Structure 1
Amino acid sequence: MKFTSSLLAAAASVATVAAKKVFIDNDGLNGLQLLIPLYGGYEIVGLSMSFGSSSSADSLGTAYDVLTTYNMTSCIPLYLGAQQPLIQTNDTFHLHNTLFGAPVWQGAFTPGYVDSYDINNITYNDTPGALALIDAVKKYKDTDPVMIWAAGMMTTVAQAISIYPKLVEEAAGLYIMGGYVDTQMAQATGNAFQVDVNTDINLIQDPEAAQIVLTAGWKELYIGGNVTNYLVPSQELYDRIIEKAGGLDVLNNNTYFSELQSIVVSGNYTENAADTENILPFWDEVVSAFMAFPDIITSSTPVLASVDTSFYSPFYGQLRIWGADFAPTAGYKTGNATIVNSIKDAVFYDFILSVLFEDWRQFCDTGKYSCLKGKLNGY
């Protein structure tokens, strides 16, 4: 499958136009989440790594590793975001699980969770993530408003709103990963893996923050819900990656390809399927893609959205949506949002091959990337 000409033109024009701005908050990071916005012409004005699916230390550690791989520690500032939810605690999280059922994946709330990184050994900016977000939005509000991309808990963004409510009107908008709808049947009939991928852990871990953020009144709010579950690794994708690299050995023997190694692993999808951690959907990466290249969106639905914040509800932390004519008008705050239903799948998979096979290590010095062709030996 060839990369579409319109998207090639958009990517090629990056060096000749003023970069758009984006601030990223997540509970971990991989290469695609970093590189796709850059490929789409965005300048990343901050990375804030927060508690959520990983501990704060592990979120920071994975982000620092990615920045180091691509030699970007000098031009993309790394911050520590929210280290705990607004109200939710480990105890209340597990109490709710006892009352209404537990998700398969519990992230950093998993009993016995042990950090993989020592936060004291990670280099990052000492400005708290919420304050860094506010500073970035205020700095560019009159020239190039900052887009916010949040793919873990919404806590850091909620903190920023509580400190500086004008953040919402001064930012360009918000893209989030999370917000599944109509997944009860999948949860009831699926195996553990299917239940896991249909569980909205990003909102469940901090429902109050999610409600604050999703109903804040953004200029635009895009929710990457169910569509992000449909874009997954496959043997076809493995074969394309291996062929482009010139063989599985080339991938496995070059540290620059650590992000591709984490996707392909053995190179055999059937073998990897035995370990579900290796075949999770491209959740956050999909949101990165349709934020950076909105032309890949093929279907979306405008809704009014809210998050259930009643602790004694089996739907605590889950997204609720309405059509404009049927939404609550009193007592239950809602916010305008756009749910993305589908994207150009083939183009997204093309992104993976295009983005991760570029040489990004001079980007901080030149603002450009170059093709790896002819450079594979020696990496």
Structure 2
Amino acid sequence: MYWPTSLPLLCSSLLPLVGGAFAQGDKHYAIMDNDWYTAGFVPYLIALDGDVDVLALASDTCDTWQPQAALHAVATLEAGNLSCIPVYPGSTWPLINTPLRFQAWETIHGKLPWQGAFAPYNATYEAEGNDPTSGNPNRIVKSAFREGFPKGKPDNSTSAANFMVEMVHKYPGQVSIYSAGALTNVALAARMDPQFASLAKNLVIMGGYVDLNMLQATGSIMQADYQSDINLMMDPEASKIALTADFPEIIVAGNVANQVFPTQEFVDEIKKAGNPYSELFAKYYDISFPFWDETAAALMVDPSLAINKTTVYIDVDISYGSPNYGNVHVYQKALAPAGIRNVTYVFEVDADKLKQRIKHSLMHPKSCADL
């Protein structure tokens, strides 16, 4: 069992109990866990712009291997003078899944249009400046750092999961755990400390699509890509652990994350700001994809952006022999199986307000001088 180093001080630092839960302080903290990449900085800019104190970034294996993602986090923070925010490396490996196991599942149940870090190794693809997949998870492809290769390194003094546990004990009821990649680190924290989830403010995830199988079959390959739940499928067992943990609230930005797309006009307007982040965004953000991670980050900052949501009970299929391995299934309370919990499932967001938040965060980014 994990015990935080600050445990003897906990009794004096706990906030008063109100209605069975910790009273919320005015300060909102966040730990932001993601498979970071060149243009992946927008979520933490949204958080900072919304007066959320970002305690750290955490890295995970999803679109690429964790070590590469961690260095992208360091590099993008450096690009905007935000190196005061530490980066803690997460788990390089999912709890069970491996590229070989993932690819064997695809042989039986069909290929995914996007396979993330578990796509077969492709030396030519990497030589063209793309993040590594399969092979040695510790290799670094420097040519993929279009934002510039970082001068600094991740903080290896502790792991992402350890840091999450320590911070929810330090700031009970005030720390959002944001996950827009695989949920491995969140699951590890939940297993390390039985109080972890209950002491957090909430868990906000990007992923958890429902009722999209027909679109995957009849739409284009690109549409099928939009509906591929790689964040959960990379580590299904961790997804189940995280989504059944006793967080005070879990906010799921699933299908809604495919709702709002950037336009070239939107990008061109942001570029006029002329700062490092607006220029990187204009140059490298792929406008063929929706605001996936940004939608979840904005909901973490301002839950009122959700204009259509419901409460459902959610489970993750962890049967390796199932074609739905790593996908979610939702229930109403009366029909839910034992051992699962309710989540806030967002169906629709205010698209204009979301784009305004994204635009403002990029055109007026905060730096360490502001924090």
> For the superposition of Structure 1 and Structure 2, which TM-score range results when normalised by the shorter chain?
0.7 to 0.9
3-state DSSP of counterpart to 1:51: coil
**Matched residue, 2:153:** 123
The question of whether the paired residues in 1 share the 8 Å contact of 2:49 and 2:366 is answered with: no
The question of whether the paired residues in 2 share the 8 Å contact of 1:262 and 1:278 is answered with: no
Structure 2-normalised TM-score?
A: 0.82
Return the match for 2:340 from 334, 338, 341.
Answer: 334
**Aligned: 1:51 with 2:61:** yes
Deviation at 1:348, TM superposition (A): 1.0
Q: Which amino acid aligns with 2:202?
A: G
Looking at structure 2, the residues matched to 121 and 88 of structure 1 have their Cα atoms a distance apart, in angstroms, of 32
3-state DSSP of counterpart to 1:299: strand
What does 1:199-214 correspond to in 2, within 5 Å?
199-214=228-243
**Aligned: 1:349 with 2:355:** yes
**Matched residue, 1:3:** none
The question of whether the paired residues in 1 share the 8 Å contact of 2:27 and 2:174 is answered with: no
**Matched residue, 1:32:** 42
Q: Which amino acid aligns with 2:89?
A: L
The question of whether the paired residues in 1 share the 8 Å contact of 2:261 and 2:287 is answered with: no
Deviation at 1:256, TM superposition (A): 4.6
The question of whether the paired residues in 1 share the 8 Å contact of 2:48 and 2:366 is answered with: no
Return the match for 2:77 from 51, 67, 72.
Answer: 67
Deviation at 1:239, TM superposition (A): 4.8
Looking at structure 2, the residues matched to 288 and 302 of structure 1 have their Cα atoms a distance apart, in angstroms, of 20
**Matched residue, 2:135:** none
3-state DSSP of counterpart to 2:334: coil
What does 1:7-156 correspond to in 2, within 5 Å?
18-28=26-36, 30-74=40-84, 76-112=85-121, 114=132, 115-117=140-142, 122-126=152-156, 127-141=158-172, 145-156=174-185
**Matched residue, 1:260:** 281
Looking at structure 2, the residues matched to 87 and 353 of structure 1 have their Cα atoms a distance apart, in angstroms, of 39
Deviation at 1:18, TM superposition (A): 4.8
**Aligned: 1:365 with 2:369:** yes
Q: Do the aligned partners of residues 341 and 263 (structure 1) sit closer, same or farther apart at CA in structure 2, a change above 3 Å counting?
A: farther
Deviation at 1:328, TM superposition (A): 1.8
Q: Deviations over 1:93-113 (max 9, x none)?
A: 011000001111111111115
Looking at structure 2, the residues matched to 236 and 261 of structure 1 have their Cα atoms a distance apart, in angstroms, of 10
Q: Do the aligned partners of residues 257 and 237 (structure 1) sit closer, same or farther apart at CA in structure 2, a change above 3 Å counting?
A: closer
The question of whether the paired residues in 2 share the 8 Å contact of 1:206 and 1:317 is answered with: yes
**Aligned: 1:312 with 2:341:** no
Q: Do the aligned partners of residues 124 and 261 (structure 1) sit closer, same or farther apart at CA in structure 2, a change above 3 Å counting?
A: same
Looking at structure 2, the residues matched to 53 and 227 of structure 1 have their Cα atoms a distance apart, in angstroms, of 20
Deviation at 1:255, TM superposition (A): 4.0
Return the match for 2:295 from 286, 289, 302.
Answer: 286
Q: Deviations over 1:226-252 (max 9, x none)?
A: 00001111244235435x54xxxxx5x
Looking at structure 2, the residues matched to 52 and 88 of structure 1 have their Cα atoms a distance apart, in angstroms, of 11
Q: How many residues align structurally?
A: 323
What does 1:190-269 correspond to in 2, within 5 Å?
190-241=219-270, 244-245=272-273, 255-262=276-283
**Matched residue, 1:301:** 310
Q: Which runs of no fewer than 5 residues in structure 2 stay unpaired? A: 1-24, 123-131, 133-139, 144-148
Q: Which amino acid aligns with 2:247?
A: W
Q: Do the aligned partners of residues 120 and 259 (structure 1) sit closer, same or farther apart at CA in structure 2, a change above 3 Å counting?
A: closer
**Matched residue, 1:274:** none
Q: Deviations over 1:143-165 (max 9, x none)?
A: x5211111111100111111111
3-state DSSP of counterpart to 2:333: coil
Structure 1-normalised TM-score?
A: 0.80
3-state DSSP of counterpart to 1:63: helix
Deviation at 1:322, TM superposition (A): 0.5
Deviation at 1:120, TM superposition (A): 10
3-state DSSP of counterpart to 1:300: strand
Looking at structure 1, the residues matched to 365 and 163 of structure 2 have their Cα atoms a distance apart, in angstroms, of 29
Looking at structure 1, the residues matched to 347 and 247 of structure 2 have their Cα atoms a distance apart, in angstroms, of 20
The question of whether the paired residues in 1 share the 8 Å contact of 2:43 and 2:297 is answered with: yes
Looking at structure 2, the residues matched to 41 and 311 of structure 1 have their Cα atoms a distance apart, in angstroms, of 42
3-state DSSP of counterpart to 2:29: strand
Q: Which runs of no fewer than 5 residues in structure 1 stay unpaired? A: 1-16, 246-250, 265-276, 368-379
Q: Which amino acid aligns with 1:69?
A: A
What does 1:153-168 correspond to in 2, within 5 Å?
153-168=182-197
Deviation at 1:217, TM superposition (A): 2.1
Q: Which amino acid aligns with 2:309?
A: S
Looking at structure 1, the residues matched to 359 and 197 of structure 2 have their Cα atoms a distance apart, in angstroms, of 35
